[in-house]
Amino acid sequence: MKKQALSRLILLATALTLATPALATAQTRLKPGMNLFSIRDDVEIGRRSASEIERKHRTYSDSRVARVGRRLAARSSMPNLPWRFRVIDRRDVNAFALPGGYIYVTSGLLRYR
């Protein structure tokens, strides 16, 4: 019985491995939705919100976060935004984005394993 279960598990793992490239190319392409604000407005709203967050919480730069963030931003639908990536000193495992390209990752997420 164990040998048969192991064979089925190997077969399933092989099938999933072979199917993964096909699944990756079949992903839905998302289109940006309607935005009532201009890019300039989004950046200004984000700047004000970021200022408020940074008054309330300690934040800092992290080269790893910035490197990954720049790679993702370059492939986004808005690569020319003034992207800004910061770490917010919080224990929870989380990340969030503000309008205009302001991205925050919690230090808890960086420590999570």
Q: Is the full-model pTM beyond 0.85?
A: no
Residue 12 is assigned to a structural domain of this protein:
no
Range of the domain at 77: 56-113
Residue 4 is assigned to a structural domain of this protein:
no
Q: Which of 14-18, 99-103, 109-113 has the highest mean pLDDT?
A: 99-103
Q: How far apart are CA 25 and CA 29, in angstroms?
A: 10
Across all residues in the chain, what is the average pLDDT? Answer: 84
Residue 79 is assigned to a structural domain of this protein:
yes
Backbone dihedral region of 34: left (phi > 0), alpha (psi from -120 to 50 degrees) or beta? Answer: beta
Q: How far apart are CA 37 and CA 59, in angstroms?
A: 27
Asked if the model's pLDDT at residue 12 lies above 70, the reply is no
pLDDT digits (tens, 9 = 90+) for 55-73: 999 999 999 999 999 999 9
